[in-house]
């Protein structure tokens, strides 16, 4: 164990450790899971703090009308894998004492994760606050954030954990800062001294430039839900403004903050430049846990071009078989397969490639271009659900060239990032914070075709390890500019290389692996967290 390294408590609302543990929604959770796995693998003293979601994140299936439908089955597997520590802590929610049971989870080659659970009969109406991840509105969300932040610090004390650094991954955990302040004030410190004191122990990661991802609550709502936690209205306003922004609070409570890619760091500095008293925002690019995401056969054949190509063809065939089993579509493993999988939301533009049917449809008709989509819309995002319905409709139009895999999860992500030839990414710049799925594809020999946003700004060597399309233009006519750039590169470079220059394709696969395997690993990310954030 790295005894000389600071012991870090890593707070996150969701953790993606295994597809059967539905306590994650998407990229944020997968990242948190990868950090805990890398911490375990390389002996970094990190402890995860989260919530035990009894019903997990919503299961999203496609109904008979071709539309996404949310289901909320009980996440039984979690009780089979998590161990009851026998300990509880209490938090106050709307003047009621709410007891949280502490579970321990370390079965997935992960550093220890403690999960707080409100599902106890004595909690009466607050028994359900840890039922569903991201399923509630304002007041329920505040209750969940009290449980994660305030409950999380209390759990650390109850378990006697020796913590040097509190890492708030996203604004959801910001109330942990108010609990740390409350503890100091209880010893006789005044508010500002306590705040200054705890800053030294807190670091903060902001994940999204999208407005909806940066939560805020009215001070009235926080007061009503007992979230002031002995602080005054004036003190809460000083921490997070009015309305109270969880991101602003995270920036002010910490001594150091980070964005999750070089460009995202710049975007975040610009976005929050008017926040007085914030911590400096640096960039630490996300990385992926290779043991989870890179196929063993790729690792065994590193450096051998023909063996890597053969392995990729095998994994591609496995993806084709998986798709046939899942929804009956028959893809051709000898033809180009493009993958696109992420949360279904407007700024990620999943249907951009279909915008000019006269250009793309002939390729879908012939099967020379095959596209596999997956992704869930947020349960309350009707626009996102419409996007999914349109993708399903397109798959019905071209049943053996366009595929939509329902209920996106870690298993689907594994098959896709290992089996596709091209990983497509076309968010509206600069709204992609990082985008780790492209790293997973790259390490498995897939080639990225992406706009210059997120991690690809750092990773792209055009025509060598993948392709960029567009020049990163932001402004009026951006969608149209990106659309034509996508077609230009796809139809004039990607397709001709795939079908007409196999040797070059193989060389690009080798470059794709070589340029990402070390540089965009969770190991590298964790090393940087320690050297640039955790070590004082």
On whether the CB atoms of residues 474 and 432 are closer than 8 A, the answer is no
User: In the prediction, which pLDDT does 208 show?
Assistant: 84
Q: With respect to residue 2, please indicate whether it lies within any of the assigned structural domains.
A: no
Statement to judge: residues 198 and 62 lie in one domain: yes
DSSP 168-217: EESGGGTHHHHHHHHHHHHTT--HHHHHHHHHTTEEEE----SGGGS-EE
Q: With respect to residue 3, please indicate whether it lies within any of the assigned structural domains.
A: no
Distance of alpha carbon 435 from alpha carbon 428, whole angstroms: 13
Distance of alpha carbon 30 from alpha carbon 48, whole angstroms: 13
Statement to judge: residues 99 and 158 lie in one domain: yes
User: In the prediction, which pLDDT does 372 show?
Assistant: 98
Distance of alpha carbon 514 from alpha carbon 123, whole angstroms: 53
Q: 3-class DSSP state for residue 523? A: helix
Statement to judge: residues 323 and 249 lie in one domain: no
Q: What is the pLDDT of residues 357-378, one digit of tens each?
A: 999 999 999 999 999 999 999 8
Look at 223-232, 413-422, 471-480 and tell me which has the smallest mean pLDDT: 471-480
Measure Cα distances from 151 to 160, 219, 249, 346, 485 in Å.
14, 20, 18, 35, 49
On whether the CB atoms of residues 146 and 91 are closer than 8 A, the answer is yes
Percent pLDDT > 70 in the chain is 99
Residue 337: name the closest of 350, 320, 322 by CA: 320
* Ranges assigned E (strand) in 20-58: 46-51
The predicted model gives 424-449 an average pLDDT of 96
Please report, for the domain that includes residue 177, its CATH number: 3.40.50.2000
Q: What is the pLDDT of residues 66-103, one digit of tens each?
A: 999 999 999 999 999 999 999 999 999 999 999 999 99
Statement to judge: residues 236 and 310 lie in one domain: no
Distance of alpha carbon 275 from alpha carbon 354, whole angstroms: 40
Q: With respect to residue 475, please indicate whether it lies within any of the assigned structural domains.
A: yes
Statement to judge: residues 138 and 203 lie in one domain: yes
The predicted model gives 226-240 an average pLDDT of 98
Q: With respect to residue 1, please indicate whether it lies within any of the assigned structural domains.
A: no
User: In the prediction, which pLDDT does 242 show?
Assistant: 96
Q: What is the pLDDT of residues 470-518, one digit of tens each?
A: 988 899 999 999 999 999 999 999 999 999 999 999 999 999 999 999 9
**What is the number of domains present in the chain?**
2
Q: What is the pLDDT of residues 292-330, one digit of tens each?
A: 999 999 999 999 999 999 999 999 999 999 999 999 999
The predicted model gives 411-434 an average pLDDT of 96
Q: With respect to residue 490, please indicate whether it lies within any of the assigned structural domains.
A: yes
Statement to judge: residues 134 and 254 lie in one domain: yes
Statement to judge: residues 365 and 216 lie in one domain: no
Q: With respect to residue 253, please indicate whether it lies within any of the assigned structural domains.
A: yes
Q: What value does the mean pLDDT of the chain take?
A: 96
Q: What is the pLDDT of residues 516-534, one digit of tens each?
A: 999 999 999 999 999 999 9
User: In the prediction, which pLDDT does 1 show?
Assistant: 43
> Is 41 a residue whose pLDDT tops 60?
yes
Q: With respect to residue 503, please indicate whether it lies within any of the assigned structural domains.
A: yes
Statement to judge: residues 202 and 319 lie in one domain: no
> Is 290 a residue whose pLDDT tops 90?
yes
Q: Encode 276-304: b = buried (16+ Cβ within 10 Å), e = exposed.
A: eebbebbbbbbbbbbbbbbbebbeebeee
Centre a 10 Å sphere on the Cβ of residue 346 and count the other Cβ atoms it contains: 16
Q: With respect to residue 452, please indicate whether it lies within any of the assigned structural domains.
A: yes
Q: What is the pLDDT of residues 124-166, one digit of tens each?
A: 999 999 999 998 778 999 999 999 999 999 999 999 999 999 9
- Domain, as residue range, for 180: 8-288+524-534
Residue 24: name the closest of 53, 46, 47 by CA: 53
User: In the prediction, which pLDDT does 213 show?
Assistant: 75
Statement to judge: residues 151 and 192 lie in one domain: yes
The pairs formed by 437-440 with CB atoms below 8 angstroms and a separation of 24 or more are 437/27, 437/341, 437/342, 437/413, 439/286, 439/287, 439/288, 439/516, 439/520, 440/288, 440/293, 440/294, 440/413
Statement to judge: residues 222 and 320 lie in one domain: no
Q: Which helix (H) or strand (E) holds 81?
A: helix 77-81
Statement to judge: residues 230 and 315 lie in one domain: no
Percent pLDDT > 90 in the chain is 94
User: In the prediction, which pLDDT does 3 show?
Assistant: 59
Statement to judge: residues 404 and 481 lie in one domain: yes
Distance of alpha carbon 153 from alpha carbon 254, whole angstroms: 15
């Amino acid at each position: 164990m790295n005894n000389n390294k600071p012991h870090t408590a890593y707070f996150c609302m969701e953790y993606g450790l295994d597809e059967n543990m539905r306590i994650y929604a998407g990229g944020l959770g997968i990242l948190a899971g990868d950090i805990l796995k890398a911490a375990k693998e390389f002996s970094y003293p990190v402890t995860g703090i989260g919530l035990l979601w009894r019903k997990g994140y919503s299961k999203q299936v496609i109904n008979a009308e071709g539309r996404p439908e949310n289901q909320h089955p009980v996440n039984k597997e979690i009780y089979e894998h998590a161990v009851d520590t026998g300990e509880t802590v209490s938090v106050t929610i709307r003047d009621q004492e709410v007891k949280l049971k502490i579970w321990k989870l370390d079965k997935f080659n992960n550093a220890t994760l403690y999960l707080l659970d409100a599902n106890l009969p004595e909690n009466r109406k607050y028994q359900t606050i840890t039922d569903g991840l991201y399923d509630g509105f304002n007041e329920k969300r505040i209750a969940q954030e009290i449980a994660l932040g305030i409950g999380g610090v209390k759990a650390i004390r109850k378990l006697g954990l020796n913590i040097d650094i509190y890492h708030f991954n996203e604004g959801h955990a910001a109330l942990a800062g108010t609990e740390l302040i409350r503890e100091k004030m209880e010893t006789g410190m005044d508010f500002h001294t306590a705040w200054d004191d705890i800053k030294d122990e807190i670091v903060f990661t902001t994940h999204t430039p999208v407005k909806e991802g940066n939560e805020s609550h009215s001070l009235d709502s926080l007061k009503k839900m007992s979230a002031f936690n002995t602080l005054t209205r004036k003190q809460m306003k000083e921490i997070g403004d009015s309305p109270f922004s969880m991101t602003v609070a995270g920036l002010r409570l910490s001594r150091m903050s980070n964005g999750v890619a070089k460009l995202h760091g710049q975007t975040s500095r610009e976005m929050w430049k008017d926040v007085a008293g914030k911590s400096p925002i640096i960039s630490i690019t996300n990385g992926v846990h290779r043991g989870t995401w890179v196929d063993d056969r790729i690792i065994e054949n590193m450096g051998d071009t023909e063996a890597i190509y053969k392995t990729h063809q095998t994994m591609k065939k496995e993806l084709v078989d998986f798709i046939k089993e899942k929804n009956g579509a028959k893809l051709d493993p000898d033809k180009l397969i493009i993958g696109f999988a992420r949360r279904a939301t407007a700024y990620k533009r999943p249907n951009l490639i279909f915008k000019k049917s006269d250009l793309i449809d002939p390729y879908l008709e012939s099967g020379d271009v095959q596209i596999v989509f997956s992704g869930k819309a947020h349960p309350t995002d009707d626009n996102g659900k419409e996007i999914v319905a349109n993708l399903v409709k397109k798959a019905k139009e071209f049943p053996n060239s366009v595929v939509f895999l329902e209920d996106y999860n870690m298993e689907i992500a594994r098959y896709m990032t290992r089996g596709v030839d091209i990983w497509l990414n076309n968010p509206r710049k600069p709204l992609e914070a990082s985008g780790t799925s492209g790293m997973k594809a790259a390490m498995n020999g897939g080639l990225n075709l992406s706009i210059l946003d997120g991690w690809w700004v750092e990773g792209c060597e055009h025509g060598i390890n993948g392709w960029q399309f567009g020049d990163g233009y932001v402004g009026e006519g951006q969608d149209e500019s990106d659309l034509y750039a996508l077609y230009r590169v796809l139809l004039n470079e990607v397709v001709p290389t795939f079908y007409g220059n196999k040797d070059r394709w193989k060389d690009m696969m080798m470059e794709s692996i070589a340029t990402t395997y070390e540089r965009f690993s969770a190991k590298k990310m964790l090393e940087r967290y320690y050297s640039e954030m955790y070590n004082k």
